[in-house]
Amino acid sequence: MPTGILAADAWATSLTFAHTVGWSVYLGGAILMEVVWRPSQVHIPPSQVNVVCSRMGRRYRWVSFAALLVIAASGIALLFESGSPLVLSTGYARTLLALALLWVILVGLLGVLAVAAHPALHVRTPASMSDEARRAARESVRRAIRRMDVLLRVELGLAGLAALLATSLQFGGLF
């Protein structure tokens, strides 16, 4: 085989590998948060949940964001590598458009988790706080936990849908 063809095959294989690893890390993280981490919190002493949640949430945010960037970069490179024409009358192009929209939604959801939902879980209550204010702060944290649970489930569902759509591309797409 000429080296040009071998190099092109190695490039396409590397892109596919990066894309697959990106999706694996992202989906694996979403599954870990929903199936492992959220249920295990009830077995951690309340005094430690705040610290562990804060550290795990921060790490999850950056790992997920990096995985989404790898997915986007490798996906765009794979698209150019394939040389397929993107005509919206084809199921492939419509599915690819749906995937791009899902990617934007997932990045936005990750931003909401990082900027609004996660910080709301970590409210500090000073010792000088009245009992009524302490109860209100606890209720606020309970609502934040419920919102976080919903957002993580939505994220997992959208990531699963994106994986399904991505898998369908090899068969011409779903739409």
* The pTM of the whole model exceeds 0.85: no
Average pLDDT, the chain: 84
Whole-angstrom Cα Rg for the chain? 21
The pLDDT tens digits of the residues spanning 120-157 come to: 666 667 778 888 888 887 787 778 778 888 888 999 99
Q: Could you tell me the pLDDT band of residue 109, with boundaries at 50, 70 and 90? A: very high
The DSSP H or E segment spanning 61 is helix 46-82
Reading the block at residue 102, the tokens are 């899902």
Q: 11: domain range?
A: 3-171
Count of CB atoms within 10 A of residue 166's CB? Answer: 19
Residue of 68, 38, 32 lying closest to 150 (CA atoms): 38
Domain count, the chain: 1
Reading the block at residue 108, the tokens are 């936005």
How far is Cα 121 from Cα 58, in angstroms, rounded to an integer? 12
